[in-house]
Chain A
Amino acid sequence: MSTNRPGEPGPDGHEQGQHGGNDAVNGPWNTPSEPRSEDSAADGRGSFDADGPGDLGAAAGLDADEQALRAMMHGAVREIRPSDASLERLRHAVPARRARKRQAVVGLAAAALLVGTAVPTLLHVTNSPGSSDDHPSAVGHTSQVPGDSGHTDGGKQGHDKESPSGKDGPKDKDRDKGKDSGGKGDETGGGATAGADPTGSEMAPAATCGAGQLGNAVGTVGEPAADGKVYGSFKVSNVSGSDCTVAGGGSVTFEVQGAAQRGRVAMTEVAAGNSAVGLPVAPAAGTVRLAPGEAYEVHFAWVPSESCPTEGSSPDPDPTDGGTGGGGDEPGVEPQLVPGEGSADGSVALSHTAEPGAPTAAATIPDACAGTVYRTGVMAAS
Chain B
Amino acid sequence: MTAGTTVDHLTETYRAHYRSLLGLAALLLDDTASCEDVVQEAFIRVHAARKRVREPEKTLAYLRQTVVNLSRSALRRRILGLKLLSKPMPDMASAEEGAYDQLERDALIKAMRGLQRRQREVLVLRYFADMTEAQVAETLGLSVGSVKAYGSRGIAALRVAMEAQA
Residues of B within 8 Å of A271, CB to CB, are 44
Shortest distance in angstroms between B146's beta carbon and chain A's nearest beta carbon? Answer: 18
Residues of B within 8 A of A266 (CB): 31, 33-34, 37, 74, 77
- Interface SS of B by simple majority: helix
Q: Which of B17, B80, B98, B108 has the most CB of A within 10 A?
A: B108
Query: Is B18 on the interface with A (CB-CB < 8 A)?
Result: yes
The answer to whether B84 has its CB under 8 Å from any CB of chain A is: yes
Q: Nearest chain B CB to A279's CB is how many angstroms away? A: 15
Question: Is B35 a contact of A80 with CB atoms below 8 Å?
Answer: yes
Shortest Cβ gap from A91 to chain B (Å): 6
The answer to whether B99 touches A70 (Cβ under 8 A) is no
Decide: A305 and B33 in contact? CB cutoff 8 A: yes
Q: Check A4 against B11 for contact (C-beta < 8 Å).
A: yes
Q: Is A310 an interface residue (CB 8 A)?
A: no
Flag if A82 contacts B18 (CB, 8 Å): yes
Q: Which residue of B lies closest to A9 (CB)?
A: B19
Interface residue count on the B side (C-beta < 8 Å): 68
Judge if B26 is at the interface, Cβ distance under 8 Å. Answer: yes
Is A138 among interface residues, defined by CB-CB distance under 8 A?
A: no
With beta carbons under 8 angstroms apart, the residue of A22, A82, A263 that contacts B19 is: A82
B129 → A minimal CB distance (Å)? 5
Report how far A10 CA is from B109 CA in the complex, Å.
25
Cβ of B96 < 8 Å from any Cβ of A?
yes
B130-166 vs A: 1/0 string, CB under 8 Å?
A: 1110010000000000000000000100110011001
Which A residues are in CB contact (< 8 Å) with B67? none
Other-chain contact of A93, B20, B40, B84, B129 (Cβ < 8 Å): B40
Q: Which residue on chain A has the smallest CB distance to residue B60?
A: A45
A263 x B81 contact (CB < 8 A): yes
Contact of A94 among B6, B31, B61 (CB under 8 A): B6
- Residues of chain A in range 18-60 having any CB-CB distance to chain B below 8 Å: 22, 25-26, 28-29, 42, 45-50, 55-59
* Minimum C-beta distance from A81 to chain B (A): 7
Q: Are A81 and B130 in contact (CB under 8 A)?
A: no
Closest residue of chain A to B81 (Cβ to Cβ) is: A263
Q: How far is the CA of A57 from the CA of B130 in the complex (A)?
A: 7
Contact B155 A65 (CB under 8 A): yes
Residues of A contacting B129 in the complex (Cβ-Cβ under 8 angstroms): 46, 48
Given A29-B159, A87-B14, A89-B40, residue A77 in contact with residue B130 (CB < 8 A): no
Within 8 Å by CB of B102, from A22, A95, A98, lies A22
Q: Is the CB of B82 within 8 A of A305?
A: no
Interface centre among B10, B40, B135 (most CB of A within 10 A): B40
Contact A9 B106 (CB under 8 A): no
Q: How far apart sit A26 and B43, CA to CA, in the bound complex (Å)? A: 35
CA distance A345 to B108 in the complex (A): 33
A101 at interface, CB cutoff 8 A: yes
A74 to B123, CA, bound (A): 12
Q: Which residues of A contact B26 (CB under 8 A)?
A: 76-77, 80
Query: B15 on the interface (CB 8 Å rule)?
Result: yes
Neighbour of B130 across the interface among A26, A48, A262, CB < 8 A: A48
Contact of A83 among B10, B11, B36 (CB under 8 A): B36
**In the complex, per-residue mask of B51-62: 1 if CB is within 8 Å of any chain A CB, else 0:** 000000100110
CB–CB A45/B61 < 8 A: yes
Chain B 76-104 interface 0/1 with A at a Cβ cutoff of 8 Å (1 = within)? 01101110110000000010101110110
| Minimum distance in angstroms from B158 CB to a CB of chain A | 7
8 A-B residue pairs with Cβ-Cβ distance under 8 Å, sorted by A, are A1-B7, A9-B19, A26-B166, A29-B162, A73-B123, A77-B128, A263-B80, A266-B74
- Beyond the given A94-B10, A266-B37, A372-B33, could you list 20 further A-B residue pairs with CB under 8 A, ordered by the A residue number? A10-B15, A25-B107, A26-B166, A28-B163, A48-B128, A50-B22, A66-B127, A79-B102, A80-B19, A80-B23, A82-B22, A86-B18, A87-B18, A91-B7, A261-B84, A261-B85, A262-B78, A262-B81, A266-B34, A372-B37
Q: What is the interface of chain A, defined by CB distance below 8 A to chain B?
A: 1, 4, 8-11, 22, 25-26, 28-29, 42, 45-50, 55-59, 62, 65-66, 69-70, 72-83, 86-87, 89-91, 93-95, 97-98, 101, 261-264, 266, 268, 271, 305-306, 372
10 shortest A-B CB distances, which residue pairs?
A: A263-B81, A50-B19, A77-B23, A46-B130, A97-B48, A9-B19, A79-B99, A262-B81, A28-B162, A50-B20
